[in-house]
Amino acid sequence: MEKIQLYDTTLRDGMQAEGVSFSLEDKLLIAKSLDKLGLDYIEGGYAASNAKEMKFFEEVAKLGLKHSKIAAFGNTRKAKSTVEDDRSLNAMLACKTHAATLVAKTWDLHVKDVLNCSLDENLKICSESVEYLKKHGLEVIFDAEHFFDGYKNNPEFAMKVLEAGANAGATALVLCETNGGCLPIEVYEITKKVCEQFSGLTIGIHTHNDTDCATANSLAAVRAGARHVQGTINGLGERCGNANLCILAPNLALKLGYDVLDSEKLKTLTEVSRSIFEIANITPIMSMPYVGESAFAHKGGLHIDALRKNKKTYEHISPELVGNERRFLISELSGRSTVLGKLEKAKITEDKQLASDILNRVQDLENQGYQFESADASFDLLVKKVMGTYKTHFELIKYYVNTEKRASGEIVTEATIKLRIGDKTEHVVGDGDGPVNALDAALRKALKNSYPTIKDLHLIDYKVRVVNAKAGTAARVRVIIESRDKNSIWGTVGVSENIIEASWQALVDSVEYKLQKDYL
């Protein structure tokens, strides 16, 4: 298989996504995860930007990464400085990395309006900057910024910039589709011309997703001859994001047969994706190809019946290849095949009577307003209850919730919970921003001594839906809670005329599911 280098820029480009900020500890944790995945390069950050970035390079050197090369990122020298006194270049040297990624202007518009220098001066800037880093023993990756826009506006100059980088000793020439406005046919045609002219060098591709074509553009560049692909985990990045390595890696390996990641490492891709969503404090994208929770989720009874007979009928790959799993969604559309499919992992699909009992129970509950399509954990607990194997980790004696609005306008909510845990009784008070938050706080406080891993449980979404709207304020409500821990995400459901009780049901199922995973 032909090798393609995978270059990750989550720690720089990914941090430019709106709402994303990684601490030093976060960045080191991500670097270890990316190295374990087996990526060829990890771009550590913009060396000259701040002290935290420089501290990262100092600390990452102590981790003993086994696979990935760390790259420092920076600009070519400023137009009115020399390489010896240029802040960005010397900051990159101070990082003491194996590789340096140098961003250079290839669009004449930027040279004239941003750098405020002549086109010939920019070529000199590029050459001198690469030579300076090479002289100090660094592998130089030459990021040709805005290359495709530059090529379309002035192809002769854009090619001269690449030539300046190549002649000065750059290891790879990376064509950056910085504004994300190109379509695959343009990327293919332009990249092919570059590959033909610079046949002895590694050509790379760096795309953004502003036309939703980042993946397609990267694949088009590979088809044209690029053998170095840059992107971020989960497509994190400025504006609409960068090319998503969680999609590109399996496409390159499983669809096109390139050597990108070891097959065993590819099986950790879903885990890496979800862990970085968690570090970034972003709710995972359920519909993301390959690694999303819905990527191999099936709802239609006919589809599930076919899948149980042959997994290839409605899946383009086996989910295990990327560390994901097949899910059968339970809903009012469910038939016996859906329930049997859902029970496959428990290896009880041959028990037709059990499947019938579960299906009848699901349909009875859905008539009351329950919905299990987004509540897989509640369904799993339901199966245990029907089978008679359910074991509770705690019993509610009572709960009490009080919300007080004071004259100052301050709203204070407290929840009191009394539980029986084995032969002990816990009676605690928790406060929160609202009744559900207060109940959650009190429940955690009551359980933390007996079940310490409860601290890993996080509620990431809370939805309320009125079931029978015609009943007005007496209507029954359905509460769906989505939760996660370090390893997985699950949903639970509760239904009641009382919104607090519906929330309590969903909350208890979420906690019980977590405890059953950890303590049974």
pLDDT at 487: 79
443 and 466 within one domain = no
For residue 329, pLDDT over 90 is answered with no
Lookup result for tokens 């709960």: 399
Lowest-confidence region among 48-62, 268-282, 462-476: 462-476
Which residues are CB-contacts of 160 (< 8 A; sequence separation ≥ 6)?
Answer: 119, 123
Strand partners, 463: 480
Give the whole-number percent of the chain exceeding pLDDT 70: 93
Residue 284 located in a structural domain: no
The sign of the torsion formed by the CA atoms of 114, 9, 218, 223 equals positive
Q: What is the DSSP letter of 347?
A: T
The more confidently predicted of residues 466 and 470 is 466
Residue 499 sits in the same domain as residue 423 = no
Question: Distances from the Cα of 247 to the Cαs of 221, 231, 242, in angstroms?
Answer: 15, 10, 11
Write the pLDDT tens digit of every residue in 280-322. Answer: 888 889 899 999 988 988 776 677 667 777 778 888 999 999 9
Tell the residue number behind the tokens 């995978």, with chain if given: 6
- Per the structure, the complete domain to which residue 68 belongs is given by 5-279
**Type and span of the H or E element at 376:** helix 376-387
Rounded to an integer, the average pLDDT of 490-511 is: 94
Whether the pLDDT of residue 520 is over 80: the answer is: no
The span from the CA of 480 to the CA of 505, in Å, is: 10
For the chain, count helices (H), then strands (E).
18, 16
- 477-493 pLDDT, tens digit each: 999 999 988 878 899 99
Q: Structurally, how many domains does the chain consist of?
A: 4
82 and 174 both lie in a single domain: yes
Name which of 137, 194, 136, 186 is nearest 166 in CA terms.
Answer: 194
Spatial CA neighbour of 293 closest among 215, 374, 233, 236? 374
Place of tokens 């930007």: 49
The whole-number average pLDDT for the span 89-108 is 95
Question: Which residue, 432, 450, 468, sits at the end of a domain?
Answer: 450
| 424 within domain boundaries | yes
Q: List pLDDT tens digits, range 420-459.
A: 999 999 999 999 888 999 999 999 999 999 999 999 999 8
Which residue did the predictor score with more confidence, 342 or 376?
376
Same domain, 306 and 423: no
Residue 158 has pLDDT above 60, yes or no: yes
CA 106 to chain centre: 31
SS3 81: coil
The single-letter DSSP state of residue 183 is -
**How far is residue 41's CA from residue 65's CA, in Å, rounded to a whole number?**
11
Classify residue 290: in a domain, yes or no: no
Q: 418 and 514: one domain? A: no
Residue with tokens 């399996």: 250
Residue pointed to by tokens 């592998």: 139
Stronger pLDDT, 369 or 349, i.e. the higher one? 369
pTM: 0.74
Same domain, 69 and 160: yes
Confidence of residue 233 (pLDDT cuts 50, 70, 90): very high
Q: What is d(CA 513, CA 252) in angstroms, rounded to the nearest whole number?
A: 37
Q: What is the CATH number of the domain that holds 239?
A: 3.20.20.70
Over residues 108-149, the pLDDT tens digits come to: 999 999 888 999 999 999 999 999 999 999 999 999 999 999
Residue where one domain finishes, among candidates 219, 245, 279: 279
Torsional sign, CA 385, 388, 394, 400? positive
Query: 292 lies in a domain?
Result: no
Same domain, 414 and 507: no
CA distances from 300 to 123, 233, 360, 417, 490 (A): 59, 31, 18, 41, 20
- Measured CA to CA in angstroms, residue 454 lies from 36, 437, 446, 513 at distances of 27, 15, 10, 11
Q: Where are the alpha helices (DSSP H) in 136-260?
A: 147-153, 155-167, 184-197, 214-224, 245-250
Q: Give me 319's structure tokens.
A: 């989910």
Q: Are residues 171 and 198 in the same domain?
A: yes
Average confidence (pLDDT) over 252-259: 97
| 172-177/139-145 β-pairing | parallel
> Considering the domain boundaries, does residue 289 fall inside one?
no
Residue 376: how many CB atoms within 10 A of its CB?
A: 23
HSE at residue 124, side-chain half, CA atoms within 13 A, is 12
424 and 379 in a single domain? The answer is no
Same-domain pairing of 329 and 464: no
Beta bridge partners of 402: 414
286, part of any domain = no
Do 29 and 152 sit in the same domain of this protein? yes
More confident residue, 23 or 346: 23
Same-domain status, 304 and 164: no
CA–CA gap between residue 144 and residue 356 (Å, rounded): 62
At 331, the pLDDT band (50, 70, 90 cuts) reads low
d(CA 249, CA 4): 10
Average pLDDT, the chain: 90
State the pLDDT confidence band at 471, using cuts at 50, 70 and 90. low
- In a domain? residue 507: yes
Whether residue 288 is contained in a domain is answered as: no
Bridge partners (DSSP) listed for residue 42: 8, 70
Tokens of 130: 């690469």
Instruction: Please say which residue of 360, 379, 409 terminates a domain.
Output: 360
